């Protein structure tokens, strides 16, 4: 390994001031390499003023002054301080207090009769005996010749138990002192060099030097963003597949569109055009289709699937839940039956001969569109000619799951869909250079859902109003956050609420929750979808995709327990017709400040993209990969989420710029073998982006 780079990767344990004694503390605070300590930038500043005498200092200020040691008074009893009495140049007495101190060390550091320098927080204590000046545990105490070191701006680092500000600062200085410059990976830039930026960032002289807009910090943050995007591009790359047959027949799709009782929105037409452009290119499509709830993503995917069927290939639609997969299969099947397209369903519930028959029709190619849950990933499922993979609600599937389906046909086009609008920063963070289509329009005739925030104390009034809604033939969702009561829970559970509402409305009420068996859930959902039941009490299993046009009221009980994105998804279950719909957010106490913010945002905002931005600000970063809803990845030197708006905008722009540069570099030199590429390899190692998980572009 290149010698200057190897120095940055040296174990902190090798520093004399760290050793085995403090190594565990540094591992907890920063990591175990020299560079890990250098990424630990100062978080605050304090300013020490040099004074000639005590009375010239502001109260409770950090001061540095020269004093004469007068007397040592060891601890008189347990828990009392060791006191050193000193006097300033005006003979004003000052008490230096030390708790749990080593007497021999203090006597060596401050011999009686000698002049020394001290620096710390000066406190003024008034009592019956007059005014006393004290300094508890001076930050610095030593020879007068060192007094200038303790004047001016002092950096403050985040700490952990076992480490102090001065110990960490000294370790940083030791590491930086012997660090060498590395080959530049941003040539001809406006920034200082990498090593210069590190030195400047660790020696701030004003509060401006702590901001992300400081030239040194910006340089280092930019480095980390470039390393992130370049590492993601490298680990996401896949071997170029053979040229695919261009899909250019749209007969089935045109017939489907002509049969629709409504017109496609401009956003849907644009997304279809972008997908067709990819499929005509001869290269594999990897595209993300994102849009607000009710924006018509499924229809866009079905039209694209018709194009694939026209090319004599199959489409697989991976869906996160059985309820949604069955509804998709039913609605897609009805729409495509007149076109002679067979739609098959495969979930974990299909067993025996039924399952064998579905698998055979998939294998033979008779089934052209296959809707299913994780069951589609099983090895026994073999496609005849898989040309198109649709991943619905992609954030609910881990990378490995998405990969397993896409690898059943390595050249299949891939369309990932999400009903959770993703802010620009999150798209870049999670999907790199993946092509993105956006549906930001609602179908014509849809009205804005009126959202009301209501105290749970008015529960009886809400129930009374539902009687009128249901008498008009409309339907109601009632969502609860838990399945059953617990001793520590003070909010309603779905089972208890179901029993209460059933006592009022009788057989019109159905219940759906995650612990029910599949057949039970389907039966309950079917009764609700067919209008036999008019009130559905549920946990959040109905959050995604369930489509019941006559549902006009969504009640979310204990809404303060839900996140913004989840509430917006639930609200999207109503308002799917031309009637006025309502979302009632019932809240209980205590109501935190942040919970109140979320409820107010939901009441006042109906744009899913704006709600997603708010959610990102309130919720913060999360996992980039996995079954949890994706969030912004965490970085060592910055936070893309928890910032003031102005700083957030600077970071987002820098993040986008770094993405653009990383993509250019990767396109020109994917193996990083040019001089610039070799320099960038150092950057990847410094930020540990050289051994990333193989995140393929599988959505």
pLDDT of 622 higher than 50: no
pLDDT of 621 higher than 50: no
pLDDT of 14 higher than 90: yes
CB atoms within 10 A of CB 73: 12
H/E run at residue 636: none
Which of 221-235, 263-277, 532-546, 562-576 has the lowest average pLDDT? 532-546
State the average pLDDT over residues 573-599: 88
Which string of DSSP letters, residue by residue, matches 131-176? EEEEEES-SEEE-GGGGGGGSEEEEE----TT--HHHHHHHHHHHH
621 in a structural domain: no
Query: So what's the pLDDT on residue 240?
Result: 53
370 and 224: one domain? no
Query: So what's the pLDDT on residue 9?
Result: 94
347 and 394: one domain? yes
pLDDT band at 513 (very low <50, low <70, confident <90, very high): confident
5 and 111: one domain? no
CATH code at position 548: 3.40.50.300
Query: So what's the pLDDT on residue 627?
Result: 28
657 and 587: one domain? no
CB atoms within 10 A of CB 106: 19
State the average pLDDT over residues 147-170: 89
Provide the edge-to-edge strand list for the sheet that holds 475-479: 450-455, 582-587, 551-557, 475-479, 535-538, 509-512
Going by DSSP bridges, is the β-strand pair 62-73/82-87 parallel, antiparallel, or unpaired?
Answer: antiparallel
CATH code at position 135: 2.40.50.140
481 and 497: one domain? yes
458 and 417: one domain? no
270 and 416: one domain? yes
Distance CA(577)–CA(350), nearest Å, equals 33
- Among 558, 577, 605, residue at a domain's last position: 605
Distance CA(28)–CA(691), nearest Å, equals 22
- Nearest one of 433, 405, 380, 425 to 320, comparing CA atoms: 405
636 in a structural domain: no
Query: So what's the pLDDT on residue 150?
Result: 87
- Say whether the peptide bond before residue 590 is cis (omega within 30 degrees of 0): yes
pLDDT of 484 higher than 80: no
101 and 168: one domain? no
Distance CA(31)–CA(602), nearest Å, equals 41
444 in a structural domain: no
State the average pLDDT over residues 55-78: 89
Which of 208-217, 225-234, 536-545 has the lowest average pLDDT? 536-545
601 and 581: one domain? yes
State the average pLDDT over residues 668-676: 89
CA distances from 394 to 236, 318, 432, 439, 691 (A): 16, 9, 15, 16, 25
pLDDT of 472 higher than 80: yes
How many domains does the chain contain in total?
5
Task: Please check whether residue 315 is in contact with residue 388, taking contact to mean a CB–CB distance below 8 angstroms.
Answer: yes
Which of 166-175, 202-211, 226-235 has the lowest average pLDDT? 226-235
583 in a structural domain: yes
- Among 549, 582, 605, residue at a domain's last position: 605
Distance CA(304)–CA(287), nearest Å, equals 12
Query: So what's the pLDDT on residue 655?
Result: 87
Query: So what's the pLDDT on residue 616?
Result: 66
pLDDT of 625 higher than 60: no
Query: So what's the pLDDT on residue 423?
Result: 64
631 in a structural domain: no
Query: So what's the pLDDT on residue 430?
Result: 60
- Nearest one of 523, 567, 572, 565 to 548, comparing CA atoms: 572
Which of 237-241, 498-502, 636-640 has the lowest average pLDDT? 237-241
Query: So what's the pLDDT on residue 57?
Result: 86
The torsion region of residue 188 among left (phi > 0), alpha (psi -120 to 50) and beta comes to left
What Rg value do the Cα atoms of the chain yield, rounded?
Answer: 33
67 and 35: one domain? no
400 in a structural domain: yes
Distance CA(391)–CA(309), nearest Å, equals 18
The predicted model scores a pTM of 0.62
Question: How confident is the prediction for the chain on average, in pLDDT?
Answer: 85
Tens-digit pLDDT profile for residues 374-411: 888 888 899 999 999 998 875 555 555 556 666 676 67
367 in a structural domain: yes
Structural domain span for residue 235: 181-240+642-699
Question: Which DSSP state fits 633?
Answer: P
490 in a structural domain: yes
297 and 403: one domain? yes
379 and 338: one domain? yes
């Amino acid at each position: 390994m290149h010698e200057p780079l190897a120095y940055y990767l040296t174990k902190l344990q090798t520093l004399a001031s760290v050793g085995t004694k403090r190594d565990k503390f540094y591992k907890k605070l920063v990591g175990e390499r020299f560079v890990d300590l250098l990424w630990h930038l100062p978080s605050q500043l304090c300013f020490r003023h040099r004074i000639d005498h005590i009375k010239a200092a502001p109260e409770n200020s950090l001061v540095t002054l020269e004093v004469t040691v007068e007397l040592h008074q060891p601890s008189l009893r347990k828990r009392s301080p060791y006191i050193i009495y000193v006097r300033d140049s005006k003979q004003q007495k000052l008490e230096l207090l030390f708790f749990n101190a080593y007497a021999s060390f203090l006597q060596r550091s401050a011999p009686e009769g000698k002049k020394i320098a001290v620096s710390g927080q000066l406190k003024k204590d008034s009592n019956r005996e007059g005014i006393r000046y004290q300094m508890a545990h001076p930050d610095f105490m030593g020879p007068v010749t060192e007094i200038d070191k303790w004047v001016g701006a002092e950096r403050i680092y985040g700490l952990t138990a076992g480490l102090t500000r001065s110990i960490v600062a000294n370790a940083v200085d030791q590491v930086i002192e012997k660090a060498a410059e590395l080959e530049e990976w941003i040539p001809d830039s406006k920034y200082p060099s990498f090593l210069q930026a590190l030195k400047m960032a660790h020696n701030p002289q004003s509060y401006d030097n702590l901001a992300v807009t400081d030239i040194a910090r910006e340089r280092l943050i930019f480095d980390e963003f470039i390393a992130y995007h370049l590492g993601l591009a490298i680990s996401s790359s896949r071997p170029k597949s053979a040229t695919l047959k261009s899909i250019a027949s749209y007969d089935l799709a045109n017939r489907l569109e002509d049969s629709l009782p409504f017109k496609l929105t401009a956003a849907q037409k644009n997304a279809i055009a972008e997908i067709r452009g990819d499929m005509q290119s001869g290269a594999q499509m990897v595209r993300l289709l994102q849009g607000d709830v009710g924006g018509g993503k499924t229809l866009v995917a079905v039209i694209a699937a018709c194009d694939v069927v026209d090319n004599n290939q199959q489409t697989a639609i991976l869906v996160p839940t059985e309820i949604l997969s069955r509804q998709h299969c039913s609605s897609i099947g009805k729409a495509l039956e007149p076109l002679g397209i067979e739609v098959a369903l495969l979930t974990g519930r299909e067993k025996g001969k039924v399952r064998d028959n579905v698998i055979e029709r998939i294998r033979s190619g008779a089934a052209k569109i296959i809707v299913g849950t994780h069951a589609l990933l099983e090895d026994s499922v073999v496609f005849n000619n898989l040309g198109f993979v649709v991943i619905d609600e992609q954030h609910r599937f881990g990378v490995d799951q998405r990969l397993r389906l896409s690898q059943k046909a390595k050249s299949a086009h891939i369309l990932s869909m999400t009903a959770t609008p993703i802010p620009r920063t999150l798209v870049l963070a999670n999907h790199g250079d993946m092509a993105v289509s956006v549906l930001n329009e609602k179908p014509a005739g849809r009205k804005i859902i009126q959202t009301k925030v209501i105290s749970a104390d008015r529960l009886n009034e809400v129930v009374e109003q539902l009687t009128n809604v249901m008498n008009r033939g409309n339907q109601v969702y009632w969502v609860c956050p838990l399945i059953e009561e617990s001793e520590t829970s003070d909010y309603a559970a779905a089972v208890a609420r179901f029993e209460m509402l059933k006592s009022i409305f009788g057989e019109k009420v159905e219940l759906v929750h995650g612990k029910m068996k599949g057949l039970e859930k389907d039966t309950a959902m079917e009764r609700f979808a067919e209008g036999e039941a008019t009130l559905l009490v549920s946990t959040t299993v109905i959050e995604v995709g369930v489509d019941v046009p006559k549902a006009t009221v969504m009640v979310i009980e204990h809404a303060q327990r839900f996140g913004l994105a989840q509430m917006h998804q639930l609200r999207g279950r109503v308002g799917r017709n031309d009637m006025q719909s309502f979302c009632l957010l019932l809240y209980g106490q205590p109501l935190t400040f942040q919970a109140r913010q979320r409820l107010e945002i939901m009441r006042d905002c109906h744009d899913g993209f704006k709600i997603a931005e708010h959610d990102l600000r309130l919720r913060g970063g999360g996992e980039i990969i996995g079954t949890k809803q994706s969030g912004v990845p965490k970085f060592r030197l910055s936070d893309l989420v928890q910032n003031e708006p102005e700083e957030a905008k600077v970071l987002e722009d820098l993040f986008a710029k770094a993405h653009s540069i990383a993509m250019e570099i990767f396109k020109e030199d994917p193996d990083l073998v040019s001089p610039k590429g070799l320099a960038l390899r150092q950057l990847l190692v410094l930020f540990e982006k050289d051994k990333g998980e193989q995140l393929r572009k599988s959505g």
